[in-house]
Structure 1
Amino acid sequence: MTVSFSFGRRTARLLSMGLAAGLAFGLTSTAALANTGNNALPDCYQFAQIKRQTPASVQTELFVVIDQTTPFNSELRQSLAQQIGPLLSPGNALSVFAFSAYTQGYYTRRLLHARMDAPMSADARDDAGKALLQKFDQCLVFQKQGIHKLTQEALVKILSQASSSIAKSDVLGSLKDISTQVQASPAQRKIVLLASDMLENSSVSSFYSSKAVRKIDVATEWKKVESNQLTADFGGAQIYVLGAGLIDSDTQKNGVYRDPQTMNALRAFWEQYFTASHAKLAGFGTPDLLGKIQ
C-alpha cells in the first residue's frame, strides 16, 4: 500500500531528524491524539516566546473522514493524499477521522488534529527581536513539514486497518457524530473530504442488493432518515466525496456495473441529506473526484 505526499529535499532533511527533532518542537504522534482535540503541532508563538497581537484563528479546516469498509485501491489512496496536500497551508487546520460500524471492534474516532500558525504580520515582526523571529520561522517550517508527516501516518494507519469484511456500515450515524466536531470548528471555512462508498448498510437501511449497489428510492430513504432523526449539522461546510458506489467486487478483474440511474439516485439522496444538514455537496466522485478541491 502506498500513501505519500510530495516532499522537497528540505522537507526530507528535516523529517529525517526523527523523534528528537519532533520532541524539541513538541510534535505529538497520532497514536497519542486518538479521540482528543489536542493540537499535534507546536504553538510557534509559545515556542518562540512571542506574544500574539491577535487571538489565534483558523482560515480553513479540512476534515478528512475515511470509511474503513470501503475498498480503496492504490490509485484512489494516492488521489486522497493529493487532494489533502494543497490544503495543508499556514493558518489552516486538519482533522482526520475513521469510521465504519459499531461492531467487531470498529468505531468512530479522531486520529489527528493539527493546526498551523499563520505567518506574523510585518508590524508584528518589526516589534520582535531577531533571535525570536528566527525561532518562530524555524517553527513554522517544522509545522508545515510535520503536518505532512503526521497526516501520512494517520492515513496509512486507517487504510491498513480497512476491511470489506466488516458486516455493517453506519454511514448516516457516523456522519451525525462527526458533524458535531465540524460544526464546532471556529474555522472561517470548513471542508469535509469524505472517503466512502456512501452505501448505508445498517439497521436503518441497506443500499445493497445481491452484493451490488441498489437503486434506491430517494423519497423512501429520506423518510427513514427523518424517522430515525439522523440529519446532522455541519455548520455550513463544503462536502467532497471520494469513492461513491465502490464495492468489494471492484477490486476484482470483473467489477459490477452500476447504471447511471442508480448512481444518480445515490447522489440525489446525499445532496438532500447534506442540504438538510447545513452543508453543500460540492463534489461527488464516482469513484474519483474529477477536479481538485477549490
Structure 2
Amino acid sequence: MVSFTVAAAQYPIDRLDSWEAYEAKLTRWVEQAAAQGAKLAVFPEYGAMELASLDPATMGDLAGSIETVSALLPRVDALHGQLASRTGLHILAASAPRKDADGRFRNAARLFAPNGKSSVQDKLVMTRFEREQWDIAAGATLRVFDTALGRLAVSICYDSEFPLLARACVEAGAEVLLVPSCTDTLHGYWRVRIGAQARALEGQCYAVHSPTVGEAAWSPAVDENRGAAAVYGPPDRGMPEDGVLAVGVEGAAQWVFAEVDTAKVAELRADGGVLNARHWSEQPGAVALPPVEVVDLR
C-alpha cells in the first residue's frame, strides 16, 4: 500500500519552432511536477500532436501531421525515459499516433518508470473523428501495470466512457485509473469527466484526468482544446463528499496535484459505506469482461 502525490497536466498545445523548444517545454513541465513532490505525472491524449508543428510543410494537413508525429515517437520516448530516470517520476506520456507494421496508426499512451522500464496502452474504442477523419485503428490489448506506486491502468479519453474496460482492470487489481483526454468542446470534456468519476465510483478507486487545453489554429488535429485536469475518488468515507480530490481551472495551463493513498482503495473495497466493486456481478445482465494483460514495471 502506497501514498503518493499525483500530478495531472492541463497541457497546452503550442506551436513549436524546434525540437529543442519541445525538449525544453517537456523538461520544464516534468521538473515542475517533481519539484512539487509528485511521483506520478499524467499527460493528456494527443498532446504529442503539437510536434506536427516541427514540419511546416505538413502541419496543416491531417494525414501529414499524423505521419510526422509518429516518425518522431522513438525520439519522444527516449526523452521521456531520460526524464523519468532523472526525476524519479513515473510518467504517462501524452498519447500519439503510432504507425504499426500493418500500416495502420493506433493511439498509444506510453508509461515510463524511473527504473528504465516502460509499456504501452493503446486506445481501444475510437471516436467518430478518429474513425471517419483520422483513420486511427483500435488497439486490441487491455493492460494493467504493476509499479512501485501500485497497480495502474490507462483508459484513454473515449475508453473511459465504457465501463467494462475499466471494470476488467479493477477485477485485475487496478487501484488508480489514468484518463488522458483531448476534447474540443465542453460537451466532450464533461463526457470524459463523468466517465472518469463513474469509473472511480464503480471500481472504488482513483481516476486521474489529464486534458489538452488552449487553441492551436494551425493544427487540423487539435485546433481547439477544452477541459480541466482533476483527480477523483469514490464519494465515500475518507474521501471528499463529491469525490473530487482536486480540479483545475478550465482552460488554464497548469498542473493539478492530489494525494493518492492506495490503502484507502483497499479499505473501501473491503468495508466502504457501499461495496460497488464487490457487488458488480450482482447486476442483472452482468457479462464476461475482456482479458487483461499484467505488465511488471517494478
Question: TM-score w.r.t. structure 1 length?
Answer: 0.31
Going by fraction, where is strand more abundant, 1 or 2? 2
Which structure carries more helix by proportion? 1
The TM-score with structure 2 as length reference comes to: 0.31
